Amino acid sequence: MAFPLRGLLLLFLSIPFSESESNLSFKYYKKSCPDFEKIVSETITTKQMSNPATAAGTLRLFFHDCMVEGCDASVLVASNSFNTAERDADVNLSLSGDGYEVVVKAKTTLELTCPNVVSCADILAVATRDLVTMVGGPFYKVLLGRKDGLVSKASRVEGNLPRTNMSMNQMINLFASKGFNVQEMVALTGGHTIGFSHCVEFSDRLYSYSKKHATDPEINSKFAAGLRSMCANYTTDKTMSAFNDVFTPGKFDNMYFKNLPRGLGLLASDNALVKDPRTRPFVELYATNQTAFFHDFSRAMQRLSVHGVKTERNGEVRNRCDQFNSIQT
């Protein structure tokens, strides 16, 4: 009986845990702030009911935070006269205000209940999970104990977030640099099943695709006509946008993947998923099996949520989510 036990021990010891991840716990606030998750849940419920775009906005905010500097709430920090912060990088200017607002509201309540205890990074991670679940997505457990980062610079954003005009090789390499494989990348991209994209992000597919075709011929013709009409004034009105999933835009399901083979992918990067042989098998799997998508999305989100987390040594619990506790230069 000694050999199996030794084998299990060696297997456990071989699992690569970083020091920062090992400091996290599912019950981190059990004693210091027992009502933490209850307060976050109540806050997100009220916000989502009053503004249904909150879930998608918060999910995107969380992704943009974790992919740059790790999951440390650095994207929440506002710029000042000394520093241009992440949120003012070009790719982050379109982030929804609803995501910022729901975290700030939860933080305000938590500071009254258990001051200087709960990090903004943990609030964002749990709020994202709860909002995904609230709109029909899977529930997954979230490790807690992240600290808020001490750095937030717009100059560090470029190259760490996917762009709609990236090639599939560039997309795969970007996710690989963060430790994610192709299947995890496709699962995470399934977050596009809720929310919207601004017309400027896909306008080239509608009006200036090529010399031969003004509109990308791979877009469903009726869908393309509707988008051209909807986005006609996108150059003067930067807020013009369209739902990523035209059928169930407010429900977290696998419709996004079902849409792709029909030419209903909004972004060039969406359409590329169903064209590339490395990603197409996962698109086809998730289009026919929502359970598989939910399972893989949950696991990928759990992995994303511990990417680059900060500890006491290189982080803090901010008093306000939009500014460091001391002035950073």
Q: What are phi and psi of 22, to 5 degrees?
A: -65, -20
d(CA 249, CA 226): 16
91: helix, coil or strand? helix
* Residues known to be catalytic: 64
Which amino acid, one-letter code, is at 268? A
* Residues in contact with 173: Cβ distance below 8 Å, sequence separation at least 6, in sequence order: none
Tokens of 68: 């740059």
Contacts of 56 (CB under 8 A, 6+ apart): 96, 194, 195, 196
Cβ pair 143, 25 in contact under 8 A:
yes
Residue whose pair of structure tokens reads 């051209």 in the numeric block: 228
Count of Cβ atoms closer than 10 Å to residue 12 Cβ: 9
